[in-house]
Structure 1
Amino acid sequence: MGIDFTVFKGSKSGEIVEAKGHRDVGPTEALIKLSHCGVCGTDEHYKHADQGLGHEGVGVITEIGSLVPQVSDLKVGDRVGMGWIQKVCGYCKPCLTGMLIQGQHFKCVNVEQFGTANRDEGCFGTGIAWDVSALFKIPDSVGSEYAGPLMCGGATVWGPLYEHNFKAGDRIGIVGIGGLGHLAIQFASKMGFEAVVFSGTEAKREEAKAFGASEFYATKGVTKFEGIKPVDALLITTSVLPDLSLYIPVLAPFAKIFPLTISFDAIPVPALAFVLYGYQLIGSGGAHPASIKAMLEFAGKHDVKPTIEKFPMSKQGVEDAMQKLRDGKVRYRGVLEV
């Protein structure tokens, strides 16, 4: 049967291009009729590439491959979500240790992922073929329009909170209140942590409190923080990496720092403080499969959802959503809707 689809791609000039495609189902794949896709800042890095854009998709399975019943419990009619990873092999060392070692599953040596594989398709479109190793059933308690941003943005902030042995009452510093930050605040507060939020100005104080922040600190013009109880972790969610020297005085000994921003810039690190206090700088770009399943269940149960702006799944809709994101005016995640 297969699936015919429309997909919106990048191009050498940076213009969004509408294209048509067809996929027959592979043995371990599902064909999915898409309904929504979140618009992530990372998509901007690929707008000059000849490839389908979008990696925060949600839709309904219309066909499954011959081997799917042997490797998955997914079936036709299930509502599923997908993120950056398109397929993992299941037999390399990172895959085999992925449930035991934090994040290893996402380092599959045979991985197929957004940006390097299956460039004829993308979640900015009407349909897609996806390996079931990287598909996640969406709980009934999570609306499709909210599920898309959870598949990448949500997983990005959930991974550090869920996979690194923090406990209720720990203080989690969150730098920035944007597409990632507003989800991090919600997850942290509802997991029993103290969400300590840092933002450039006072403008988002009330929003941060509404999301669940227990404390809020503006950073503009500040050269040294005074009187802040130390935090056990620091999640950096801003579009521009901050100077870590400002935050070192508010870190508890052995605090973990997670730079979650996709950036090609260097992070200045005051080495002596790391030596003296045992800080850890931990790269984290997502969450392992069991962790993502837990995130979706948690989000549904505790009503964690992104604040979204909807755009039509069309060439103009994609252009408008990406431009508004580029201008820093989306509050707080753009979602394309078929």
Structure 2
Amino acid sequence: MVDGKISEIHGWAATKPGIQVEPWSYKPRPLGPNDVEIKIDYSGICGSDVHTILNEIDGNTMYPLVPGHEIVGKVITKGENVTTLNEGDLVGVGAQVYACLRDDCKECSRGLDPHCPHMVFTYNGHSHGGYADAVRVDANYVFKIPAAIDPVYAPPLMCAGTTVFAPMLRKGVKKGDRVGVIGIGGLGHLAIQYAHALGAEVVAFSHSPTKKQQATELGASIFVDTSNKEELDAVQGTLNYLLITSNAKSNQYNDYVRWMDYEGHIITLAVPEGEMRFTPIDFVMSEVNITGSLVGGRNIVKQTLDFAAKHNIRPIIERFPMAKVNEALEHMHQGKARYRIVLEN
């Protein structure tokens, strides 16, 4: 450390495709006037971390790569222009670390900064992520963790929580709406909690009947076993919103349309391989909308954290020491995580 600034960051990097990272160090970029440096306490593992190190997302993974975009730690240094954060603050960083935030930017001016043409993801580009002892990022994408949230539970809220809450805010989910959630996993178990806290009636869909009790405890009013035709028939035409949080087969979307009330919204958060297939007449007759949702912008991240603090929304996590990151990645890759993994320094 030189003049309070870390001269070298030690982390775990993927150097080639595969579920394996190895110790790796790098020199961070110079601390800019709008930057902060964070000593990392916790880093969540997201499914997109696994897909990225496997080079499965777009075939353009840039190695060596330090993954991790669910970061929580304490500010240890800040640039001269940073006025909203102080050394010692407990903060989080999510999937995005930069956007231009200009008033004349079509995306940023509408609160769509994840779509800014200058947007930078937390890793696989101009920066490295949270499987490390520290990170240096633009202060605009560093968020104070509310005191009501135990820090170990905060990392998944930075990405998974924001991902599911963003479309609910944008589409205006409210009390009395009926919200379906497909998949009771890393995203779905948080989606149930956020929708329930908004006052919606939540319908949880899963092919695993064993998840019924947990889905109910999280806030679902109705549980639908997707292998049970009678249960599926009972919810036909009843949903105002449907969040798809797990990979779906291309031919399932017509079924989803039939679950919707008129003018309902199907929102896909998962990114399965292949193409979606639809029968146009189903859309014409139902007037159902289908859309996707990227991560939430910085205003939504703030609301996600504040709402979680107020309504006691917490992820269900498994904890691993950072030194066992490869064991944790394999656990995630095998689909055994229940439901988010948090690495601890």
TM-score range, shorter chain: over 0.9
**Residue 113 of structure 1, CA deviation:** 1.1
Q: From 67, 77, 88, give the equivalent of 1:53.
A: 67
Taking structure 1 as reference, are residues 265 and 224 closer, same or farther at Cα in structure 2, changes over 3 Å only?
farther
CA contact (8 A) 2:224 2:231 kept: no
Taking structure 1 as reference, are residues 193 and 286 closer, same or farther at Cα in structure 2, changes over 3 Å only?
same
- The one-letter code matched in structure 2 to 1:145 is V
Deviations 1:278-321 (A, max 9, x none): 2111110221222221111111111100000001112xx21111
Q: Distance in 2 between matches of 1:227 and 1:280?
A: 21
Aligned match of 1:65: 79
Q: From 267, 289, 297, give the equivalent of 1:280.
A: 289
Task: Please state if 1:230 is matched with 2:238.
Answer: yes
Aligned match of 1:43: 49
**Residue 46 of structure 1, CA deviation:** 1.9
Task: Please state if 1:247 is matched with 2:261.
Answer: no
**Residue 248 of structure 1, CA deviation:** 2.1
Aligned match of 1:19: 24
Q: Distance in 2 between matches of 1:241 and 1:285?
A: 20
Q: From 109, 114, 137, give the equivalent of 1:130.
A: 137
Aligned match of 2:275: 266
CA contact (8 A) 1:31 1:129 kept: yes
- The one-letter code matched in structure 1 to 2:325 is V
Any gaps of 5 or more consecutive residues in structure 2? 55-62
Deviations 1:170-226 (A, max 9, x none): 000000100000001111111100110100031100010011100000012649932
Taking structure 1 as reference, are residues 239 and 11 closer, same or farther at Cα in structure 2, changes over 3 Å only?
farther
Q: Distance in 2 between matches of 1:116 and 1:124?
A: 13
Q: From 82, 95, 99, give the equivalent of 2:108.
A: 95
Deviations 1:47-92 (A, max 9, x none): 14421111110111111112223xxx12211111111111111112
Q: How many residues align?
A: 327
Aligned match of 1:101: none
Task: Please state if 1:304 is matched with 2:313.
Answer: yes
CA contact (8 A) 1:5 1:125 kept: yes
Aligned match of 1:6: 10
- The one-letter code matched in structure 2 to 1:30 is V
CA contact (8 A) 2:179 2:195 kept: yes
Task: Please state if 1:114 is matched with 2:122.
Answer: yes
- The one-letter code matched in structure 2 to 1:93 is K
After the TM superposition, list the runs of 4 or more consecutive aligned residues in structure 1 that deviate by more than 6 angstroms.
none
**Residue 252 of structure 1, CA deviation:** 0.6
**Residue 13 of structure 1, CA deviation:** 4.5
Greater Cα offset, 107-116 or 228-237: 107-116
| RMSD between aligned residues | 1.7
CA contact (8 A) 2:39 2:135 kept: yes
Greater Cα offset, 35-44 or 85-94: 85-94
TM-score, normalised relative to structure 1: 0.92
**Residue 152 of structure 1, CA deviation:** 0.6
- The one-letter code matched in structure 1 to 2:72 is V
Q: Distance in 1 between matches of 2:39 and 2:113?
A: 27
CA contact (8 A) 2:65 2:124 kept: no
Q: Distance in 2 between matches of 1:222 and 1:188?
A: 25
Aligned match of 2:302: 293
Any gaps of 5 or more consecutive residues in structure 1? 99-103
Q: From 16, 29, 43, give the equivalent of 2:35.
A: 29
Q: Distance in 2 between matches of 1:89 and 1:148?
A: 24
Taking structure 1 as reference, are residues 53 and 90 closer, same or farther at Cα in structure 2, changes over 3 Å only?
same
Q: Distance in 2 between matches of 1:217 and 1:227?
A: 9
